[in-house]
Amino acid sequence: MADITLSAAVRSNLLALANTARLIDRTQDRLSTGLRVANPVDDAKAFFESKALSDRAATINEKKDGIDQAVSSVSVALEAVSAIDTVVEQLKGVVNSAASAATAAEFTELNAQYNALLLQIDNFASDASYQGVNLVNGTGTTLTVNFSNSTSSTLSIASVGLTHNTATGLGIMTGALLSVTANRACAINQLDTAIATLDAKAKSLGSNVALLQTRLDFSSAYANELQAGSDKLVLADITEEGANLVALQTRQQLGISSLSFAGNSEQSVLSLFR
């Protein structure tokens, strides 16, 4: 079979068309995937910098889930403190009512109400558990929240005892004999102390909720910025790529026309020798 000899003009046009076709394929890939850099071959520096930012964003999002759960844990504890505080105020009402009681039956009823309310305090403290964490039913539990992979970027919240127990809780005696004036005075003192303790704990828990929520908001914004930075390195500009595709397709049509002209020109020259 005879070799086909191409003129320089034809070869130049064919190479230009091949290059244009390659650029069209690349542009169409970018438009279909939305990526300017899809693998290290496209741009190794941008690819790995983008991956590092995306990995960091993923880590922050994982920590964000833990922070969000911690907000719920502390919020449950705060709700329990508020409920217990309400019960303690009711206890004070029972004690104050005893001052105007006149019969043994009335005192018996008030004592029963008093002790029943104490049990409700314990119930609130016991029920304030979220995913196995209870911050108000006794000491010994610590909720540790990790904000990042740094070991120092954490928040630890220690549990407290807010049952009525006199030794490990709020220090409110059971079975107060409200018919005795001294006992009523002692009960009031214990209840006032309990209210002060509850108020202090509510402020502490509220501060922790606010801090966790602030950190949660920061983590969300931080992860978004990291991902946005990653995207800037690898995402294609769809508007620009669309314009490029139109320009390349136009160039391709012009190249085909140029190739046709070059071929026709050679045919014209050959016809002179016939």
pLDDT digits (tens, 9 = 90+) for 121-158: 999 999 999 999 999 999 999 999 998 876 778 999 99
- Domain 44-233: which CATH number of 1.20.1560.10, 3.90.400.10, 1.20.1250.20, 1.20.1330.10: 1.20.1330.10
pLDDT digits (tens, 9 = 90+) for 165-205: 878 899 998 877 888 888 999 999 999 999 999 999 999 99
Could you write out the DSSP letters of every residue in the chain?
Answer: -PPPP--HHHHHHHHHHHHHHHHHHHHHHHHHH-BS--STTT-HHHHHHHHHHHHHHHHHHHHHHHHHHHHHHHHHHHHHHHHHHHHHHHHHHHHHHHTT--SHHHHHHHHHHHHHHHHHHHHHHHH-EETTEESSB-SS-EEEEE-SSSTTSEEEEE--B-SS-TTTSS---SS--TTSHHHHHHHHHHHHHHHHHHHHHHHHHHHHHHHHHHHHHHHHHHHHHHHHHHHHHHB--HHHHHHHHHHHHHHHHHHHHHHHHHHHHHHHHHHTT-
**With a cut of 70, which residues of the chain have pLDDT below it?**
1-18, 20-36, 150, 235-238, 240-249, 251-252, 254-274
